[in-house]
Each structure stands twice: as structure tokens, then as C-alpha cells.
């Protein structure tokens, strides 16, 4: 890790909480759980087993503690957004304005549990009494295909901001926010480790869109002269960052790699199939190399610095459950 320590690591969430200038309210998991009020639990244990990732031990107790309160909070934000939409239309005397989706961005490191959080939120939100249409899209499909990454020498930086087709990302979100029908999102296969050519997910005017990816809160350098330079998070109505101490994410990443070696990597068509037959010691060495040479650098340089831009931060502890919640003040 010697070469990586030269990268400055942002302050911990504990230090952020201690600052008198913090823009967040902070809650323990027990305090946060009380905000559930009478929000009903609409998921079953079978639902959780279907929705969680292979390395995520989330259960119904965690959903009760954390996600029901979050669902209630998001419900309030969606209702307020719809109310503001109607008020603005009255103010501007608009009669033909198209209601646009409420977009929720979810960011965080690899192996921290973003995918599980996104899927559980999608199910909870879709089961509100109003039965909203909820879609989920990940940024993986907007990665450049491997052929382009190899040509540009970026395969070792896959997942870094420069490995994404930012123009396609922004066009997709712009079309979503314009209320256009049947917007296409490219699809990605984790098995073949590449974008699937000519395969798309169709997003047709949902009430809520969850947009998940490691760098969705990434900002960019601003040009002189006030030129409009949009960023992905400009299109978000609410953003969530899934957080954990670096040593925990490191541990979870290696553990996930070893589990995948026994499962998904055994598919003969899998990109990482070559790692299915090596020894445990060799597999650990490979996972450690991928972590230190790619994922840790991305976390320190690009992902973690975006944490303070989130509206809500879920900080996980040793057993992958949320221990603290930070909610941005209004």
C-alpha cells in the first residue's frame, strides 16, 4: 500500500460530525429507526433473499431499522416535489407541462452494498399506497466498451470517471427529466464484464427513477465565462451515499471475490472464469491486487470525496449493517 498512501484521504464521518459547521443532522441507527412511525413493512424474508447481493447479509430487521424510515422520508420528498411542480405551473400559467420523474442517486464504493440498497428501495417505493412506477438503472451500462477502454489504456481504470461515456449519461438523464417516453439505457453484464451491444433497458416515464453508480456524485472542473457544464447529479432530486470505513470495504471486496470464485466465475463464459480454478491463496492475491491497484485508488481519489455532496449518508459497520445516518439540513 506504500504507493497509495500518498493520496490524501478525506476526513472520516466522525470528524465531519464533530465539526460545528456540519450541514448534517446525525443519528444512530436506533434513533433513525424511530422515524419509521407507522410505515408498514411490505417485504418478506423471501423478498430480501431475492434482492440482496451475494455478499450482503441484510435481513428484515435491517429493513425495519433503516429502510422504512428512509422510505417515509423519500415519500415526503416526492410529495413535496409534486406539490412544487403544481405550484410552479400555476405561477407560470402552464397547462401542458409534463411531470418528470423524481430521480434518486445512490453512490458509494464497490462492495459497500449500493446494489442491494437500490433494489430494496425500489421494491419499498413501488409498494407505497399510491403504487408509483419505479425504475432502477445503474451506470455500468454507460461504461465505454472494453474495446475502447483497451484502446485508450483505461482497462485498469475501469470505474474511474474517465471510463464512462459522460455524454451518453447526461443525454439519458436529460431525456428522463424532459419526460420523454421510452428512453434507452445501455445494458451491462458483470459476467462478461462488458457493455452488451445493442441491448437496452427501456425507461418509460416512471414516477421515480433510482440511478446507482460509484461516481454519480462526481463534479467536474468549471470553465471560465459561465458556460453551462452539466454534471450527473444536477438531475437528482435526492442523493444517497453508502459509506463504511476503508478497511471494512477492503475486507468485503476480498470476501466477495472469493464467493464469486465459487459461483459466477464458474460460468465458462465469465470474464473472470480463469480465477475459478486457482487456489484460495492465489485468489486472495488477485483480489488484493485489484483492490489496491484499482478500487482503492478510485475510492480515495474520486468516490469518497463526493460523500459530502449527498443528501443522506448511510454509514455501515463491521457486520454490513447501518450504524449511523447523516441527513442534510434544510
Q: Is 115 annotated as a binding residue?
A: yes
Distance CA 64, CA 98 (A): 35
326: region left, alpha or beta (phi > 0 left; psi from -120 to 50 alpha)? beta
Q: Is 286 annotated as a binding residue?
A: no
Q: Is 71 annotated as a binding residue?
A: no
With beta carbons less than 8 A apart as the criterion, state whether 190 and 325 touch. Answer: no
Q: Is 141 annotated as a binding residue?
A: no
Question: What is the number of other CB atoms lying within 10 angstroms of the CB of residue 11?
Answer: 13
Q: Which three cell numbers stand for residue 264?
A: 459466477
Tell me whether residue 37 is exposed, middle or buried, using C-beta atoms within 10 angstroms of its C-beta: 0 to 12, 13 to 18, 19 or more.
Answer: exposed
Catalogue the E-assigned strands of 59-206.
102-108, 134-138, 183-189, 194-203
Q: Is 105 annotated as a binding residue?
A: no
Half-sphere exposure of 122 (CA within 13 A, CB side): 23
Helix (H, G, I), strand (E, B) or coil at 328: strand
Q: Is 108 annotated as a binding residue?
A: yes
Question: Which residue numbers belong to the known binding site?
Answer: 108-115
Binding-site residue set for ATP: 108-115
Amino acid at each position: 500500500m506504500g504507493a497509495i498512501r500518498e493520496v490524501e484521504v478525506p476526513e472520516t464521518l466522525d470528524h465531519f460530525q464533530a465539526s460545528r459547521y456540519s450541514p448534517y443532522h446525525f443519528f444512530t441507527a436506533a434513533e433513525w429507526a424511530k422515524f419509521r412511525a407507522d410505515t408498514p413493512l411490505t417485504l418478506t424474508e423471501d423478498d430480501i433473499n431475492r434482492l440482496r447481493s451475494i455478499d450482503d447479509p441484510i435481513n428484515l430487521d435491517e429493513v425495519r431499522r433503516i429502510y422504512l424510515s428512509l422510505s417515509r422520508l423519500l415519500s415526503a420528498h416526492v410529495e413535496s416535489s409534486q406539490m412544487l411542480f403544481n405550484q410552479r405551473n400555476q405561477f407560470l400559467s402552464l397547462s401542458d407541462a409534463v411531470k418528470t420523474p423524481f430521480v434518486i442517486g445512490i453512490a458509494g464504493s464497490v462492495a459497500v452494498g449500493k446494489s442491494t440498497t437500490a433494489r430494496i428501495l425500489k421494491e419499498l417505493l413501488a409498494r407505497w399506497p399510491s403504487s408509483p412506477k419505479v425504475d432502477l438503472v445503474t451506470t455500468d451500462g454507460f461504461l465505454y466498451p472494453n474495446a475502447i477502454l483497451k484502446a485508450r489504456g483505461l482497462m485498469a481504470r475501469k470505474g474511474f470517471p474517465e471510463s464512462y461515456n459522460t455524454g451518453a449519461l447526461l443525454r439519458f438523464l436529460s431525456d428522463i427529466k424532459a419526460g420523454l417516453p421510452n428512453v434507452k439505457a445501455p445494458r451491462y453484464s458483470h459476467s462478461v464484464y462488458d457493455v452488451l451491444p445493442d441491448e437496452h433497458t427501456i425507461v418509460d416515464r416512471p414516477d421515480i427513477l433510482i440511478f446507482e453508480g460509484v461516481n454519480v456524485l462526481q463534479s467536474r472542473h468549471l470553465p471560465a465565462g459561465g458556460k453551462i457544464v452539466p454534471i450527473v447529479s444536477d438531475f437528482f432530486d435526492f442523493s444517497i451515499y453508502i459509506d463504511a470505513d476503508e478497511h471494512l470495504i477492503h475486507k468485503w471486496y476480498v470476501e466477495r471475490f472469493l464467493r464469486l470464485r465459487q459461483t459466477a466465475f464458474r460460468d465458462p463464459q465469465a470474464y473472470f472464469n480463469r480465477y475459478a480454478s486457482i487456489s484460495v491463496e492465489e485468489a486472495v492475491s488477485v483480489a488484493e491486487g485489484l483492490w489496491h491497484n484499482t478500487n482503492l485508488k478510485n475510492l480515495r481519489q474520486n468516490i469518497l470525496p463526493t460523500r459530502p455532496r449527498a443528501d443522506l449518508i448511510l454509514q455501515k459497520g463491521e457486520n454490513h449493517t447501518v450504524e449511523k445516518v447523516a441527513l442534510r439540513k434544510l
